Amino acid sequence: MNDMHAAAKRCLDAADPAEKLRLTHATWQALEAGELAPDAAAPAPLPIGAPGRPARPVLVSARQVPQRGLGTPEGRAALVHAVAHIEFNAINLAWDAVYRFRGMPADYYHDWASCAHDEARHFTLLSERLAELGHAYGDFDAHNGLWEMAEKTAHRDTARMALVPRVLEARGLDVTPGMIERLTGAGDHRTVEILQLILREEVAHVAAGTRWFHWCCARDGIEPRATFIDMLRTYMGASLRGPFNRAARLQAGFDEAEMDALTALALTG
């Protein structure tokens, strides 16, 4: 039987998108077939660095990414590219969660490998849509915010589960309905179909973050709601953005009191 952590690292390190997709699907299938398992004798994870990724897109600060309207094919392509970049990062985030954090239950590894498999499908759909719009992944500049948070939380699984799926990836639950509405108005029904699929499946991914954040808190004997808010203040400062898609977040495991606290924190900074 092969070591699951090593297989996750191969996926994480692959720089060519096509190879990363191939390895991701093959690794997920091997895990489902019972051909992969954690190896207690495996080397400890290496310090986190940049994941495997192509030379393009050029990574710039979030403020330098141009804002384009959706009234033109170029603007719609830029939006699809931005979402594709998020999904590409999400593949890496899921595999890093498998590679980096050791001694977790089997269901934890299954959940994040499943997420990587889903994110790879999403990236494929978006790449195909980009091609239909006359573009390819890498044609527009992008930012590195998701992976920067992965680096900040590499030292602690509780922080990773709190801040990557439940904050940064959950932001997709908040903003995607607005994208869908604007694209519907622009008549881009094909992109709308893809985003509707992604939105449905991302609820489950954020829910996995909630589930394992709560598991980590129970393991460590800490109260999850207060811990989450404290981590938001520590890592996000005044940068937490609303409004929030309350219904989708409740589906993803947030509770009403937590949503009230998030709303207050976003308003007050």
Residues 104-140: tens digit of each pLDDT: 999 999 999 999 999 999 999 999 999 999 999 999 9
Confidence (pLDDT) at 40: 84
Residue 268 has pLDDT above 70, yes or no: no
DSSP secondary structure string, 239-250? -------HHHHH
Tens digit of pLDDT for each residue in 14-59? Answer: 999 999 999 999 999 999 999 999 988 899 999 999 999 999 999 9
Integer Cα distance of 48 and 94 in angstroms: 14
Q: Is the pLDDT of residue 4 over 80?
A: yes
Three-state SS for 37?
A: strand
| Contact between 56 and 138 (Cβ < 8 Å) | yes
- Which whole number is the average pLDDT over 52-71? 84
pLDDT at position 217, please?
Answer: 98
**pLDDT band of 267, cuts 50, 70, 90:** confident
Closest CA to 106 of 43, 46, 36, 185: 36
pLDDT for res 237: 74
For residue 71, what are the CA distances in angstroms to 79, 95, 146, 221, 234? Answer: 11, 36, 28, 52, 39
List the one residue out of 60, 62, 56, 65 whose CA is nearest residue 88.
56
β-pair partners for 142: 59
DSSP string, 145-172: HHHHHHHHTTT-HHHHHHHIIIIIITHH
Q: What is the pLDDT of residue 236?
A: 84
Q: Give tens-digit pLDDT for 195-252.
A: 999 999 999 999 999 999 999 999 999 999 999 999 998 888 767 888 999 999 999 9
Residue type, 211: R
d(CA 189, CA 184) in angstroms, rounded, equals 6
> In the structure encoding, which two tokens stand for residue 255, read together?
């509770």
pTM, 2 dp? 0.95
Give the relative orientation of helices 171-185 and 189-220 as an angle to the nearest 10 degrees. 170
Q: What is the pLDDT of residue 266?
A: 86
Average pLDDT of the chain is 94
Q: Is 90 exceeded by the pLDDT of residue 73?
A: no
pLDDT band for position 65 (cuts 50, 70, 90)? confident
Per-residue pLDDT at 63:
77
Q: Can you give the pLDDT at residue 130?
A: 97
Query: Who's near 20: CB < 8 A, 6+ residues apart?
Result: 11, 14, 52, 88, 91, 120
